[in-house]
Structure 1
């Protein structure tokens, strides 16, 4: 499975159409600390907007609501794997991304056969407090090798998403180091002109052949 090289992460469905028009084809909705009723309304709206915009939508954490609202992708952190009904997600054909930061987390992620693996933070980030220091660009290639080495011979490795502090200026270095996709948060949504910034990132990340998620 291939994955789009640009992966914005947003905190409200209203970004979907806007970034879709700027050329984005893969977006994660990440909403934290909201009442369930508000989350349900937002996820329902996001699913509809993504279909209209031709965007692949990934729901962060809220796997049960993703099931209820017919989302097609879910992203889970390590702590979220504990309570998630992975069998139910797979039975519905929902694809899964999993966060990793160290070798133990990578082994656990691979054990659930994810559709992509995320590694971060690559650079310092203020989006959320993390227990892990910045990984650095060189770690991307190391992670790709570790993933391939951990899989049975002949099994295709899942795509690797780099995340954490990545900007327009560092995006290309992350892709050249081996990332299949780069997750971007602040560099788009906090930009003076988010639409222009997104278009610039689309251009930079698609210098090699683009490949969208199914």
Structure 2
């Protein structure tokens, strides 16, 4: 399977990781904020435990030390976290690395770290966190993809299933989704829609 998978949900709890893994989701990012070292290690360890026996790959957001100690395989860093991260240690531990980008300067910083994928966002306005960056829009996906070449491009930010085909067509290799799943009235049905779309588009 490609990494990351074309459908890439981002969730904040082990319960969500469990639910998505059982539905057959291939790549799941665990993004839980404001944890201390012990809490981070616990949640990463628990999440790795619940995906055993499934096809899911767990991507740890931010907590690179916990990811290394717990034996995770995949890591995602925002630009702020990238500053304080020990890339040599991360690579020595065999972790893949995805990096968030929002503008040209951040893209240059990310590419210097030789990432396994680049995330671009927010594509659309997002209600989940206040962003200091304006929505990028779909044309930016095409531009970014041309610039990064063979590195997988993940689109994130306010994306709903109904926009998926257009975003894949613009050049995104993967779509990261938060509220379209976690705030959906029927999350399981929504996930199945996404998984079906990913299979058709692959």
Check whether TM > 0.5: yes
Please name the residue that 1:116 is paired with.
117
Unaligned runs of 5+ in 2: none
Q: Is the 8 A contact 2:24 2:55 kept in 1?
A: no
Q: Tell which has more relative contact order, 1 or 2 (C-alpha 8 A, sep 6+).
A: 1
What is the rounded CA distance, in whole Å, between the counterparts of 1:87 and 1:50 in structure 2? 27
| 1:167 to 2:125 alignment | no
The number of equivalent residue pairs is 201
Q: Is the 8 A contact 2:12 2:32 kept in 1?
A: yes
| 1:179 to 2:172 alignment | yes
Q: Secondary structure at the match of 2:146?
A: helix
Question: What TM-score does the superposition give when structure 2 sets the normalisation length?
Answer: 0.95
Q: Secondary structure at the match of 1:143?
A: helix
Q: Which runs of 4+ in 1 moved over 4 A?
A: none
By how many angstroms is 1:33 displaced?
A: 1.5
By how many angstroms is 1:101 displaced?
A: 0.7
Please name the residue that 1:2 is paired with.
2
By how many angstroms is 1:11 displaced?
A: 0.3
By how many angstroms is 1:41 displaced?
A: 1.4
Please name the residue that 1:83 is paired with.
84
What is the rounded CA distance, in whole Å, between the counterparts of 2:22 and 2:76 in structure 1? 23
Unaligned runs of 5+ in 1: 149-156, 210-214
C-alpha change, 1:53 and 1:2, in structure 2 (3 Å) is: closer
Alignment of 1:25-36 (within 5 A): 25-36=26-37
Please name the residue that 1:73 is paired with.
74
Q: Secondary structure at the match of 2:154?
A: strand
1:7-57 C-alpha deviation (Å, 9 max, x unpaired): 000000111231123231000000002333322211101011122322011
| 1:196 to 2:197 alignment | no
Please name the residue that 2:50 is paired with.
49
What is the rounded CA distance, in whole Å, between the counterparts of 2:199 and 2:135 in structure 1? 25
Q: Is the 8 A contact 1:2 1:159 kept in 2?
A: no
Please name the residue that 1:151 is paired with.
none
Q: Secondary structure at the match of 1:96?
A: strand
